[in-house]
Amino acid sequence: MLLLIIPISILLYYFYRGEKLPKDKIIDRIEVYKSKRKMNVYSGGILLKTYKIALGKNPVGHKEIEGDCKTPEGTYTIDGKNPESAFHKNLGVSYPNEKDLEDAAALGKSAGGDIKIHGLRNGRGYRSKFHRWKDWTAGCIAVTDYEIDELYEAVKVGAEIEIFP
């Protein structure tokens, strides 16, 4: 019996997409909780949905320099959308801010950039929710392809994103 339950559970996990984001809602705030691997999205102060996420390969602490594989912490904005991304689609995060640039310069390094909320690498969408089993990005916030599709439509450029430890 157990030999049957395990594969069925894996299939259910893989194919069940969960609750959909409500239609015709504009997301104006995003909160990321790195330690919980969760991202909440809001419209007008109302929580619309919570996503499970994957982070940079070195997730503890604030991003300091280019190549440290950390996901930044702090308050930023969504500064663009890219439907032609190497990772299905993406939403740009306005990292680095002035303080990030100053801190990296004090270390004699580049702060880096190109931080996104994105789907899976093109051609690898079949991994679906299994990508969450480990942190794998270079500092971005990763969701499944179908999740970035709904976020891409609903998140407004200029939305605030606050990333907590």
Contact 151, 21 (CB under 8 A): yes
User: What is the domain range of residue 92?
Assistant: 31-164
118 catalytic residue (yes or no): yes
Instruction: Look at residue 72 and tell me if it is in a domain.
Output: yes
At 22 the three-state DSSP class reads coil
Answer yes or no: is pLDDT of 14 > 80: no
At 147 the three-state DSSP class reads helix
Of the listed 69, 88, 131, 140, which one is catalytic?
Answer: 140
Q: Nearest CA to 115 among 98, 135, 92, 90?
A: 92
Instruction: Look at residue 62 and tell me if it is in a domain.
Output: yes
* pLDDT tier at 151, thresholds 50, 70, 90: very high
User: What average pLDDT does range 14-24 have in this prediction?
Assistant: 82
Q: How many domains, in total, are found in the chain?
A: 1
Quick: pLDDT tens for 81-129: 999 999 999 999 999 999 999 999 999 999 999 999 999 998 887 788 8
Residues 6+ away with beta carbon under 8 Å from 29: 41, 42, 43, 45, 159, 160, 161, 162
Q: Nearest CA to 96 among 64, 58, 136?
A: 64
At 53 the three-state DSSP class reads coil
Between 34 and 20, name the one with better pLDDT. 34
69 catalytic residue (yes or no): no
**Among the listed ranges 8-22, 32-46, 85-99, 122-136, which one has the minimum average pLDDT value?**
8-22
* pLDDT tier at 2, thresholds 50, 70, 90: low
Of the listed 62, 69, 88, 118, which one is catalytic?
Answer: 118
User: What average pLDDT does range 66-94 have in this prediction?
Assistant: 96
The CATH number of whichever domain residue 146 belongs to comes to 2.40.440.10
Instruction: Look at residue 128 and tell me if it is in a domain.
Output: yes
Instruction: Look at residue 26 and tell me if it is in a domain.
Output: no
Residue type, 48: L
pTM (2 d.p.): 0.90
Answer yes or no: is pLDDT of 42 > 70: yes
What mean pLDDT value characterizes the chain? 93
Q: Nearest CA to 82 among 72, 73, 92, 74?
A: 92
